[in-house]
Amino acid sequence: MPISTGLRKKRAVIAAFKTFKISFFMCQNFLLITAVIIALQHIGIIEKKSEKMNGNVTSLQEVKSISVGQIPEKAEKWIWMEENLNVERFRNGDKIPRAMNAEQWVAASRRGEPAWCYYYNDPANGKKYGKLYNWFAVNDTRGLAPEGWHIPSHDEWNEWIKSLGGEHVAGIQMKSITGWNENGNGTNSSKFNGLPGGYINDDGQFNALGKQGIWWTSTTTLNLNGATYDAFTSPAWSIYLNYNSGSVLQTSNNMQDGFSVRCLKN
């Protein structure tokens, strides 16, 4: 028997309603799954996928830059990254090993192998302060800095500090205007926005969050005389800001320590 027009319309409405219910259910599930994945990524159980930047694999960190000060006797400006480095892969795409606890940090560093961690192993600290790297990650030939950037040498840091008036007055200009303990904030007139991200020592112990900011240079203290270094006895240069001082210090530290890294444009 021919189907009446009314019956066809009724069946069409029922079919449309079923399709809507299925689509709505699938959409709900997709949103739920996405939310779960994001939550697991946030607490470090699932790692975020890396993305391509200038043809090379980096972390999902967006590289932001600032121009700060003039290079003496040159027309171009210093172009620094706006924030501390937060990558988890070398420039060639290889993964940088993450130390999840003190034992892993000590083991990697004493083997002279690259490693990174978050302060207190908490990803929330990474969002603000970036990652802490040992010097073996800084010096790795696969490249810690993203394409087009490099880890500044001791001489480059020193030249920029001099352009700010010297080490006795540069520190307060480099420190951020908030975040330092006991009102030890700076003016940030240099636009460097140095944060007190603390450090991890060679024994895997965290120290000085809110009190100190320390950044690796690419230079060992032995580079000056051409000697070679080893993982146990050689120090490397670092740049050091403290909450109770307006100066900037240039110190030599154990390569097994973990400090912040800031990159300079090539």
- In the prediction, which pLDDT does 10 show? 57
Q: What is the per-residue pLDDT for 46?
A: 36
Give dist(CA 184, CA 189) in Å, integer: 15
Average pLDDT for runs of 10 along the chain of length 266: 56 55 50 49 40 35 48 59 95 96 94 96 96 96 95 94 94 96 94 96 96 95 57 78 95 93 94
Name beta bridge partners: 77: 70
Q: Quote the pLDDT of residue 220.
A: 87
Confidence (pLDDT) at 227: 52
- Total residue count of the chain as it appears in this document: 266
| pLDDT confidence of residue 32 | 52
Q: Tell me, what's the pLDDT at 174?
A: 96
pLDDT at 235: 86
Q: How far apart are CA 101 and CA 244, in angstroms?
A: 30
- Dihedral sign of CA atoms 263, 221, 208, 144 in order: positive
Tokens matching residue 84: 């501390």
